[in-house]
């Protein structure tokens, strides 16, 4: 992709502005809205406000940003310059929205709070994240084949399917580790899970690059140009230790650091350091999930961030480049990731609303079905809202205090109408579950 045009040097711009115009810059520094948090590459193509030149506009924005910037002293880039971030209103609004929707005791839906369905939703989410996170890094298999592999448990047939299986196992590992402190050994183990049988040299799996290795750089696959040169390999052990301490909240910026921002910076930090020969992006995104779950954002068990990142991979890459080309300003990356998180929450809300509508529609149609007695209607209404629940003749008999033969007749009639189906048999006893006529898919 085209590397964004680097902004002009702030000190040089200030020196180039005529003295009589400096007051205009200072006056606008605190008044210009910065909600869009434009990079110079975008700003230079727009009409400046308040009779400013592009350079004066940029200087006013930068002055306001620098006055409110928060450094992450331990996270440093080329030239030992610390990374920093700002909190424009758009970022604060996004953080509040995510806190309100993804953390704490949120009443979502019976579909998610029901234990059996919770597992089903989580598995679907982990599968989606495993597939799309791998596809972001070049896995070339169809979604249908990948889903079939993960759900059936068959072995992967090629490199792409192995990447997807590894990512699925890594996401399961992350969910299990959500309350643990992060250590360098945990990061290496996570990479081992993600990279198993996908690297040319097995020795590089779960191992930081060393000074003896050819240092991996981030390349644009279209023209093979370098878009990011990571820190020297000799610095990686110390940087990994600092990153883990940052992830655990032991170090960071002065004052309060919002946990969502911490998770997003962790995502960026691993990807920026690029400590492994391959699989750095997948590892970075998995660490983001670990950080969010550890901080109590439990809804992230049901979200796939990579599915949205994959829809606009160039924007994802550009958010990295905006940060690097503008003096290590992480706000660009933070703002983009917050937008993706909110879209993921919107997608989950829309999915649950659609499922609720489908259930209501099915219940309406049920009322129109003739030939069902009140006991059968009650059972079907329950099955619509509890799709994994199982029923037996004995359970139905006890629920309605009826004779065995009556209960058996009720269930057999529902099975004939495909409203129930036999899920399994225990000895001679049939166990029923919701049938294809009631599926909301």
Q: In the CATH scheme, what architecture does the domain 370-438 have?
A: Orthogonal Bundle (1.10)
pLDDT the model gives residue 54: 94
Assign domain 71-351 to a CATH class: mainly alpha
Q: Residue 116: pLDDT band by 50, 70, 90 thresholds?
A: very low
Beta strands in 13-96 (DSSP E): 70-76, 82-85
- Predicted confidence at residue 245, as pLDDT, reads 97
Higher-confidence position of 400 and 220? 400
When the pLDDT of each residue in the chain is averaged and rounded to a whole number, the result is: 89
Burial 72-107 (b: 16+ CB within 10 A, else e): bebbbeeeeeebbbbebebbeebbeebeebbbeeee
The string of DSSP letters for 124-138 reads HHHHHHHHHHHHHTT
Between 117-121, 149-153, 202-206, the lowest mean confidence (pLDDT) is in 117-121
- Nearest 5°: phi and psi at 256? -75, 135
Cα separation, 109 vs 104, in Å, equals 15
- What pLDDT score was predicted for residue 215? 95
Percent of the chain with pLDDT over 70: 94
pLDDT tens sequence across 154-198: 999 999 999 999 999 999 999 888 788 999 999 999 999 999 999
pLDDT at 111 exceeding the cut of 80 = no
Stretch 413-423: mean pLDDT = 93
**C-beta of residue 147 within 8 angstroms of C-beta of residue 299:** no
**pLDDT number for residue 223:** 80
The residue with tokens 């999915």 is 351
Confidence of residue 440 (pLDDT cuts 50, 70, 90): low
pLDDT given for residue 115 in this prediction: 47
Lowest mean pLDDT among 82-96, 199-213, 377-391: 377-391
Average pLDDT over every residue of 358-386: 81
Give the pLDDT band of residue 118 (cuts 50, 70, 90): low
In the predicted structure, residue 292 carries a pLDDT above the cut 50: yes
As given in the structure block, the two tokens for residue 309 are 């990142």
Which residue ranges does the chain devote to CATH 1.10.3290.10?
A: 71-351
As a whole number, mean pLDDT of residues 261-277 equals 97
């Amino acid at each position: 992709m085209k590397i964004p045009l680097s902004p002009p040097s702030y000190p040089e711009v200030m020196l180039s502005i005529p003295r009589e115009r400096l007051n205009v810059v200072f006056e606008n520094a605190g008044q210009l809205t910065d909600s869009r948090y434009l990079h110079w590459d975008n700003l230079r193509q727009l009409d400046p406000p308040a009779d400013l030149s592009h350079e004066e506009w940029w200087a006013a924005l930068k002055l306001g940003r620098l006055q409110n910037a928060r450094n992450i002293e331990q996270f440093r880039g080329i030239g030992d310059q610390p990374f920093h971030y700002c909190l424009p209103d758009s970022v604060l609004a996004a953080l509040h929205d995510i806190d309100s929707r993804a953390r704490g005791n949120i009443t979502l839906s019976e579909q998610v709070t029901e234990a059996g369905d919770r597992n089903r939703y989580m598995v679907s989410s982990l599968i989606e994240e495993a597939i799309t996170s791998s596809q972001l890094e070049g896995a070339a298999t169809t979604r249908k084949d990948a889903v079939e592999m993960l759900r059936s448990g068959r072995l992967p047939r090629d490199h792409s399917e192995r990447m997807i299986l590894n990512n699925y196992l890594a996401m399961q590992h992350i969910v299990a580790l959500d309350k643990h402190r992060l250590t360098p050994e945990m990061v290496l183990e996570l990479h081992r899970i993600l990279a198993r049988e996908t690297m040319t040299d097995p020795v590089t799996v779960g191992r930081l690059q060393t000074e003896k290795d050819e240092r991996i750089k981030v390349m644009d696959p279209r023209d093979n140009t370098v878009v990011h040169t990571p820190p020297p390999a000799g610095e990686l052990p110390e940087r990994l230790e600092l990153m883990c301490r940052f992830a655990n909240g032991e170090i960071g910026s002065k004052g309060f650091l919002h946990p969502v921002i911490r998770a997003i910076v962790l995502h960026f930090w691993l990807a920026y350091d690029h400590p492994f020969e391959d699989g750095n992006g997948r590892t970075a995104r998995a660490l983001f999930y670990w950080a969010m779950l550890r901080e109590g954002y439990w809804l992230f068990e049901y979200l796939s961030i990579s599915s949205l990142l994959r829809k606009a991979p160039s924007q994802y890459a550009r958010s990295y480049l905006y940060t690097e080309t503008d003096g290590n300003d992480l706000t660009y990356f933070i703002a983009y990731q917050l937008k993706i998180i909110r879209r993921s929450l919107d997608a989950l809300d829309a999915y649950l609303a659609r499922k609720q509508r489908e259930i209501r529609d099915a219940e309406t149609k049920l009322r129109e079905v003739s030939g069902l007695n009140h006991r059968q209607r009650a059972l079907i209404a329950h099955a619509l809202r509890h799709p994994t629940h199982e029923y037996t003749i004995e359970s139905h008999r006890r629920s309605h205090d009826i004779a065995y033969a009556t209960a058996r007749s009720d269930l057999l009639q529902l099975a004939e109408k495909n409203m129930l189906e036999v899920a399994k048999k225990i000895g001679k006893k049939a166990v029923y579950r919701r049938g294809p006529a009631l599926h909301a898919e």
